[in-house]
């Protein structure tokens, strides 16, 4: 066992989160961080297989909700960005520009898309004619590029990431806001329902909106270090956008009306970061059942013919139920195999030795509870089918509990400070999330090094006579404050 | 019927192929060609759904053959290209370069990948240690970018295209050549077996190889205008590449040995072009069963409750067998609906009217033969399951026949010229495909405007005393000559 111990994963998620994360993504063979451009990484097979499954789930649900798939070019002409000044201003510092090809100077600067509103919108103007065309709901699976000038971090803050973007047009602002709600439900269905991630959807304060949005809503997930990670955001786009791109429709009375636009952007590579972080432990990954490339690994305790025959039988039995099975016949020791597949986050391990064959039993190690169970061989299928549901429920419950325990009501600056230092999300009364309240937000940023993340979509109203946690003026909102990346 | 006729697809594939192609991709709603960068197009839902299915088939087969999936960054540093001079020289005129991001000049020029050998190979050097790691078989689904300076053409010659690239490392040249053979088999399985495309795999002459390859093999598909389109190619990579990137392994005797590299690049967007061209007719697309986004469309002849009930029943019955069904309840006339779904290439249309209900029959229009059949309603599932196989066989047979009839043996320059002018592939004796025979190839290019496409992989040997079709010197090879894009 000495050899195994040497290789064991020594880092501690709770005490040394940052190193834990960067080690785990390498040791579990998700990413290779040695690519020779800063902020760009290589996704290895284990990561690709997970992300492809994540894409499948997200796309399936978007299709059910009548989004249609498109592929738009990766390059967007600079002129498209120039049409909407807020968007241009917001994205200009982050854009990679192409100005040359071969030995020629191109006639126009081309952006590596940081997001694709300005590509879709010029086509919306051509495609949308009448109220009968609306709602017009699209999506594309795409890579996007952002020259983020803050410190890069694998998966969390890469310069190329793997996402889906939806772009929609509606007849009215009300319908557009319903789309925003639908996007939030999609997030709940996929991120919480399938990936087991707890989050809160906030409406971002006025000063923290997407460049070009009238209203921005974003899901925040909490890391063990007390910092929030922004996951999918959905936006009610500024009316100025529809105007700039001339996106209109003829209503039932043949009158030309402006469209109301929304967009939504779940980034699979960044969501993978949260899956790693929220479910992982000091043994490695713990992957939700529906995105695990292998759901069951079978480890023969010895490579004897009798055992191998049984292994093959069990494998085939599981595969008839569409369960993805790996059999580890490598030269590693049994202990090394256990260690390896726990690290990779496979939900269940089946151990088969002579004792198991003798007793017509199977030994199952379950990664949700990190414990072994013995079952009768004949109960295998029933057990695994129940297990797959229970396993996901356990991961979700464990994560939900941790998350909910870290949201705390505070009533004063000192309480706020204490909560933030403990890595919590503080809920408190606040004067206003409009521009004029920037003062209080700035104080929070400067003195406590935390951010006002926003209000809930279904607004919570402060009790009568409540005061802002900072300036003690009458509170108009209940906001959530935390540290963030 | 007047209204329908007006809209009908007037172009003629045989007589006006070029316009036929550019019309069909727009009318069947595959592409929008109005994007504002030359050579870049928008793929609409019908095209995306087809291509996604194409990707699924190709990836499934690659996985069966133990290729592992990766995502590499879209950008590749210039220094990587500089390591292998042939590759650099070949690709430099085609590369889009990124030199700026935000307002900063980047420390190094970055290429939008035109292909990813130089990205994979630097990692191969780190990942491959021992003969136990070999064969090392990878693939990635990716977009690539080539600033092709010839006239662009949608799908056939775009500047961004959607492909899969495989990169492999082997212990010996023999194993590498076996990989090349496996890639050819994959092409046969997918392009011919699933997509129904006839082609010949040629070894390209010395002067027409991939930049950096020792040997290049490529599948050529023949268009109705008598021009060949190059589809997937597979390459035995130059030894200089493994040397430049220091890709070696330790053999069983602990001796360091060079790896032998291969790559293979099926471009889904370009293969889609061939699917459109080879199977399409003057009514529009005809899609192979396994990549049709909808395999059956049901058209109710009237929107009466009785008919709609039957339509719903038939739909559900088909869907239990995983058949993808569209029901057209739009406001169009029946004739318009027929026209529309024939244009879109849906394999089968089921017509349901009162007569069908009365007789417990269904009327089926089959797009492979463009004719109607009547079947008993109770036989539906059996019929459709047989149909799906028969339909693909018919498409393939029709295409194979056309293709095979256009390969012709020629024995003199005048026969060659005649064959080429008739849009055929000429098979003939040739002095040599090595560099020194450029003369004869140049004569063919200049005087006949055609290209020597190469020899077959399993070489055909000229009869004794055969002479080159051009110079009449002793012939060493049998080559195939045709026009090409």
Q: What is the pTM of this model?
A: 0.96
Looking at residue B469, its pLDDT comes to 95
What residues contact residue B331 under an 8 Å CB cut-off, 6+ apart? none
| Strand stretches in A292-336, DSSP E | 296-300, 325-327
CA A185/CA A201 separation, integer angstroms: 10
Query: Could you give the CA distance from residue A460 to residue B448 in angstroms, rounded to a whole number?
Result: 79
Neighbours of A389 (CB within 10 A): 10
For residue B2, name the pLDDT band (cuts at 50, 70, 90).
very low
CA B50 from centre of chain: 13
Residues in chain A closer than 8 A to B72 (CB atoms) = 35, 42-43
Per-residue pLDDT reduced to its tens digit, A99-157: 999 989 999 999 999 999 999 999 999 999 999 999 999 999 999 999 988 888 999 99
CB A142 within 8 A of CB A163: yes
Residue A248, beta-bridge partner list: A258
On the CB side of B288, how many CA atoms lie within 13 Å of its CA?
Answer: 29
Can you give the pLDDT at residue B6? 46
Give yes or no for a contact between B179 and B262, defined as CB atoms under 8 angstroms apart. Answer: yes
Percent of chain A clearing pLDDT 90 (strictly above): 90
Please state the separation of Cα B358 from the chain's center in Å: 46
Domain positions in chain B are 16-279, 294-391, 407-484
Instruction: State which residue of chain B sits closest to A106, comparing Cα positions.
Output: B96
Chain B residues with CB-CB distance to A70 below 8 A = 42-45, 48
CB contact under 8 A, B96 and A95: no
pLDDT, tens digit, 9 for 90 and up, residues A204-260: 999 999 989 999 999 999 999 999 999 999 999 999 999 999 999 999 999 999 999
Using the predicted structure, report yes or no on whether residue B264 has a pLDDT greater than 80: yes
What 3-state class would DSSP assign to A269? helix
Choice between B210 and B298, residue whose per-residue pLDDT is larger = B298
Q: Mind listing the pLDDT tens digit for each residue in B139-156? A: 999 999 999 888 889 999
* Whether A72 contacts chain B with CB within 8 A: yes
Is the bond preceding B135 in cis, omega lying within 30 degrees of 0? Answer: yes
Would you call B70 and A34 a contact, using CB atoms and an 8 Å cutoff?
no
pLDDT of res. B458? 82
- The pLDDT, as a whole number, for residue B387 is 98
Lowest mean pLDDT among A327-341, A470-484, B83-97: B83-97
The answer on pLDDT for A2 being more than 50 is: no
Q: Tell me the residues of chain A between 74 and 103 that have a Cβ less than 8 Å away from chain B.
A: 74-75, 77, 79-80, 92-103
Report residue B1's pLDDT band, with 50, 70 and 90 as the boundaries. very low
How is residue A192 annotated by DSSP? I
Which of the four CATH numbers 3.30.460.80, 3.30.110.30, 1.10.540.10, 3.40.50.620 does domain A407-484 have? 3.30.110.30
Domain covering B16-279 in this structure, CATH number: 3.30.930.10
pLDDT of residue A7: 52
Residue A301 contacts B, CB cutoff 8 Å: no
Bridge partners (DSSP) of residue A306 are none
- A457 pLDDT higher than 80: yes
Decide if B42 and A72 are in contact by the 8 Å CB cutoff: yes
Task: Supply the pLDDT for residue B271.
Answer: 98
- pLDDT higher than 70, residue A3: no
CB nearest B162 (choices: A43, A71, A149): A71
The verdict on B178 touching A (C-beta cutoff 8 Å) is no
Select B294-391's CATH number: 3.90.45.10, 3.20.20.140, 1.10.540.10, 3.40.50.800. 3.40.50.800
Predicted ipTM of the assembly: 0.96
Q: What is the rounded radius of gyration, in angstroms, for the C-alpha atoms of chain A? A: 25
Using pLDDT thresholds of 50, 70 and 90, give the confidence band for residue B4. very low
Dist CA A166 CA B164 (whole Å): 25
**pLDDT of B438 above 80:** no
Q: Number of Cβ pairs closer than 8 Å across A and B?
A: 141
Interface residue B107 vs chain A (CB under 8 A): no
List strands edge to edge, sheet with A75-77: A75-77, A104-112, A96-101, B96-101, B104-112, B75-77
User: Sign of torsion, CA A448 A453 A458 A464?
Assistant: positive
Distance from CA of B111 to the nearest CA of A (A): 9
Mean pLDDT, residues B209-219: 94
Determine contact: A485 vs chain B, CB below 8 A: no
Residue A5: is its pLDDT beyond 60?
no
Q: Which residues pair with B200 in a beta bridge?
A: B220
Average pLDDT of the residues in B289-310 = 96
* CATH code assigned to A13-279: 3.30.930.10
- Asked if the C-beta of A55 comes within 8 angstroms of chain B's C-beta atoms, the answer is no
Confidence tier at B51 by pLDDT (50, 70, 90): very high
Alpha-carbon span B482 to A282, nearest angstrom:
63
- The pLDDT, as a whole number, for residue B409 is 97
| Cα end-to-end distance, chain B, whole Å | 40
Q: Backbone phi, then psi, for B317, in 5-degree steps?
A: -60, -45
Chain B nearest-CA distance from A375, in A, is 32
Largest Cα separation within chain A, whole Å, is 80
Rounded to 5 degrees, φ, ψ at B123 are -80, -35
Cβ–Cβ below 8 Å for B149 and A102: yes
List the single residue in B35, B71, B160 with the smallest CB-CB distance to A162. B71
Give residue A1's pLDDT. 39
Q: SS3 of A449, please?
A: coil
Residues of chain A neighbouring B37 (CB-CB closer than 8 A)? 73, 75, 77, 110
CA neighbor of A398 nearest in space, from A279, A226, A277: A279
CA distance A160 to A143: 7
Instruction: Give the DSSP H or E segment for A366.
Output: strand A361-366
Interface of A with B in 14-33 (CB under 8 A): 32
Token duo for residue A454: 């926003």
Cross-chain residue pair A102–B92, CB shorter than 8 Å? yes
pLDDT exceeds cutoff 50 at B377? yes
On the question of pLDDT at B189 being above 50, the answer is yes
pLDDT digits over A188-208, tens only?
999 999 999 999 999 999 999
Mutate to test the interface with A, among B101, B106, B148, B158 (most CBs of A within 10 A): B101
Please state, in angstroms and as integers, the Cα–Cα distance from residue B273 to each residue in B3, B51, B155, B277, B400, following that order: 30, 11, 6, 6, 17
| Separation in Å, CA of B8 to nearest CA in chain A | 21
The answer on pLDDT for B7 being more than 80 is no
Q: Which residue of B has its CA nearest to A44?
A: B70
According to the model, what pLDDT value does residue B433 have?
86
> Which own/partner pairs from A177-182 qualify as long-range (CB within 8 Å, at least 24 positions apart)?
A177/A236, A179/A135, A179/A137, A179/A234, A179/A262, A180/A215, A180/A217, A180/A234, A180/A235, A180/A236, A180/A262, A180/A457, A181/A457, A182/A65
Asked if B16-279 and B407-484 have one fold, the answer is no
One DSSP character per residue, A117-185 reads: HHHHHHHHHHH--BGGG-SEEEEEEEEEE----SPPBTTTB-SEEEEEEEEEEESSHHHHHHHHHHHHH
Q: Chain A partners of B97 at a C-beta cutoff of 8 Å? A: 98-101
Would you place residue B9 in the very low, low, confident or very high pLDDT band (cuts 50, 70, 90)?
A: low
- Predicted pLDDT of residue B150: 82
Which residue does chain B place closest to A269, by CA atoms?
B71
Structure-token pair, residue B362: 């269904």
In this structure, the number of other CB atoms found within 10 A of the CB of residue A370 comes to: 12
Q: Give CA–CA dist A338/A4, Å, rounded.
A: 10
The verdict on a CB contact (< 8 Å) between B123 and A162 is no
Average model confidence (pLDDT) across chain B: 95
A25/A23 Cα distance (integer angstroms):
6
> Among A70-79, A409-418, A429-438, B437-446, which stretch is predicted with the lowest mean pLDDT?
A429-438
Rg (CA), chain B: 25
Please tell me the distance in Å from B413's CA to the nearest CA on chain A.
38
pLDDT at A4: 47
Tell me the average pLDDT across B272-287.
Answer: 97
What is the average per-residue pLDDT within A305-309? 96
**Nearest CB to A102; choose among B95, B100, B104:** B95
For a pLDDT cut of 70, what percent of chain A falls above it? 98
């Amino acid at each position: 066992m000495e050899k195994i111990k040497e290789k064991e994963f020594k880092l501690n998620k709770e005490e040394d989160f940052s190193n834990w994360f960067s080690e785990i993504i390498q040791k579990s063979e998700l990413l290779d961080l040695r690519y020779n451009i800063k902020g760009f990484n290589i996704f290895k097979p284990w990561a690709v297989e997970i992300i492809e499954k994540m894409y499948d789930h997200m796309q399936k649900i978007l299709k059910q909700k009548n989004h249609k798939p498109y592929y738009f070019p990766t390059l967007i002409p600079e002129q498209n960005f120039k049409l909407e000044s807020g968007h241009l201003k917001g994205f200009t510092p982050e854009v990679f520009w192409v100005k040359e090809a071969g030995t020629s100077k191109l006639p126009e600067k081309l952006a590596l898309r940081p997001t694709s509103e300005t590509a879709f919108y010029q086509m919306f103007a051509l495609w949308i004619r009448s109220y009968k065309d609306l709602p017009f709901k699209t999506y594309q699976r795409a890579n996007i590029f952002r020259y983020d000038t803050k410190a890069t971090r694998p998966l969390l803050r890469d310069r190329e990431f793997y996402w889906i973007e939806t772009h929609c047009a509606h007849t009215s602002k009300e319908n557009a806001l319903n789309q925003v709600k639908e996007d939030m439900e999609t997030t709940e269905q996929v991120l919480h329902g399938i990936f087991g991630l707890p989050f809160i959807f906030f409406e971002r304060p006025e000063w923290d909106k997407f460049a070009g949005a009238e209203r921005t809503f974003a899901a925040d997930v909490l890391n063990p270090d007390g910092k929030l990670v922004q996951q999918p955001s959905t936006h009610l786009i500024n009316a100025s956008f529809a105007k700039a791109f001339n996106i209109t429709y003829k209503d039932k009375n043949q009158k030309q009306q402006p469209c109301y636009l929304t967009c939504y952007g779940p980034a699979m590579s960044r969501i993978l970061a949260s899956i790693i972080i929220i479910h992982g432990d000091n043994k490695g990954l713990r992957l939700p059942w529906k995105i695990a490339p292998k759901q069951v690994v079978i480890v023969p305790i010895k490579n004897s013919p009798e055992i191998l025959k049984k292994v093959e039988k069990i494998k085939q039995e599981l595969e008839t139920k569409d369960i993805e099975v790996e059999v580890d016949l490598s030269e590693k020791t049994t202990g090394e195999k256990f260690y390896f597949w726990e690290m990779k986050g496979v939900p269940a391990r089946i151990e088969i030795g002579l004792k198991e064959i003798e007793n017509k039993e199977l030994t199952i190690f379950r990664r949700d509870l990190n414990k072994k169970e013995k079952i009768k061989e004949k109960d295998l299928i029933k057990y695994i089918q129940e297990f797959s549901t229970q396993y996901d429920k356990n991961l979700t419950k464990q994560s939900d509990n941790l998350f909910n325990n870290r949201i705390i009501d505070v009533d004063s600056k000192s309480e706020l400070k204490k909560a933030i230092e403990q890595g919590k999300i503080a809920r408190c009364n606040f004067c206003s999330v409009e521009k004029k309240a920037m003062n209080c937000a700035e104080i929070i940023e400067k003195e406590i090094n935390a951010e006002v993340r926003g209000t809930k979509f279904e607004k919570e109203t402060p009790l009568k006579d409540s005061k802002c946690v900072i300036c003690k003026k009458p509170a108009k909102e209940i906001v959530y404050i935390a540290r963030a990346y």
